[in-house]
Amino acid sequence: MPERLDQLAEEAAKESWTYVEFLDRVLDGEVSARVERDVTMKTRLAHLPFVKTLDQFDFSFQPALNEAQIRELATARFVAHGENILLLGPPGVGKTHLAVSLGVAAIMQGISVVFFTVADLVDLVHQDVKEDRLERRLHALCKPNLLILDEMGYVPLDQRSAQFLFRVISRRYQKGSIILTSNKSYGEWGDVVSDYVLATAMLDRLLHYSTTMNIRGESYRLREKRKAGVFHDLSAKPVKDSPSSSQKTQGERQREISSRYDGL
């Protein structure tokens, strides 16, 4: 701010501003700086896997999507009404990009956001049970205005994790918004949580006030592989797990996830 103040003083002298004009510019600069700091802090606390905006999303590649509807959602009015957004579709069609972009748009409007993959949340639940802090985790997940849950359905949920997720959804019902991405249709959720009654109860609360968007199309990632001419090679040859992922012990993975969500 001191450097900016010097610049404003020089500009004021050149342009012969009045004291009121000078003070107005100073206050505008201070407000802008505070907003920028707030956005930076909220982005860090959101634990987003990356930062992307809707302007970086290739709507031409997914023509079935209603761009106007998505940009309306980016106004974050759904958060003010405690509504949810569910993004469904196969892997690679841009569900996570859209979820993150809507989260970034919310942060820019001063809204608190937290991002979790469902797989990471399951690991944290197991760890929290051992350390007797599951209730604290539940309280933390109810605090942000917007909770993003990514990749529902990629890993099956055990009974304890499924029940915990139901409690999160129930506590946030009509109070805090959720953006959830999934590669499973609603009819398959019973298999994901191994309990059709619980799956129905989850969906009842999620869908009551919500917008569902089904994204059908080609995977962005496979498109790039196809362009590079390696898609058929990848599908024909078995892919070995990298040591960084396959050789990690459960304890190492839990410590990594715990540190990633430190403070939540």
Contact (Cβ atoms closer than 8 angstroms) between residue 117 and residue 150: yes
Burial of 183 (0-12, 13-18, 19+ CB in 10 A): middle
Per the listing, tokens 């006030």 go with 209
pLDDT of residue 35: 65
pLDDT at 227 (0 to 100): 63
The predicted pLDDT at position 6 comes to 72
**pLDDT given for residue 233 in this prediction:** 46
CB-based contact 198:163 (threshold 8 Å): yes
- pLDDT tens-digit map of 247-262: 566 677 667 777 777 7
Which CATH code of 3.40.50.2300, 2.60.40.10, 3.40.50.300, 3.40.50.1100 fits the domain covering 43-219?
3.40.50.300
Ranges in the chain, pLDDT < 50:
233-246
Q: Read out DSSP for the chain? A: -HHHHHHHHHHHHHHT--HHHHHHHHHHHHHHHHHHHHHHHHHHHHT-SS---GGGS-GGGSTTS-HHHHHHHTTTHHHHTT-EEEEE-STTSSHHHHHHHHHHHHHHTT--EEEEEHHHHHHHHHHHHHTT-HHHHHHHHTSSSEEEEEEETSSPPPHHHHHHHHHHHHHHTTTSEEEEEESS-GGGHHHHHT-HHHHHHHHHHHHHTEEEEE--S--HHHHHHHHHT-HHHHHHSPPPPPHHHHT--HHHHHHHHHHHTTT-
Whole-prediction pTM value? 0.80
